[in-house]
Amino acid sequence: MKKLVMKFVDAAGNNKSMTISDVKEGLTAENAQTLMDTIIAKDIFAFGPDALTSKDSASIVETTETELFEN
């Protein structure tokens, strides 16, 4: 499974992260930056009293699941 992990900085200077699961193939750095810019500009998510003010980083994290047994 691929996840997009986006890291932001809020008005107080604290780091905040947001994860989106099952990202599509071919996601580019430009796509991620555009999404992050939109999230900041529209103040979509509130993390306490301080709004997100800037982008820190974005990465795609891949995990592999191995089923050991199933009932």
Quote the pLDDT of residue 44.
85
The 10s digit of each residue's pLDDT in 41-50 is: 998 887 677 8
- At 47 the pLDDT is 64
Asked if 11 contacts 53 with a C-beta cutoff of 8 angstroms, the reply is yes
What per-residue confidence (pLDDT) applies to 50? 85
Can you give the residue ranges of every domain in the chain? 2-62
For residue range 26-68, what is the model confidence (pLDDT) as tens digits? 999 999 999 999 999 998 887 677 899 999 999 999 999 899 9
Q: Provide the pLDDT confidence category of residue 71 given band limits of 50, 70 and 90.
A: confident
Strands (E), the chain: 2-10, 15-21, 52-62
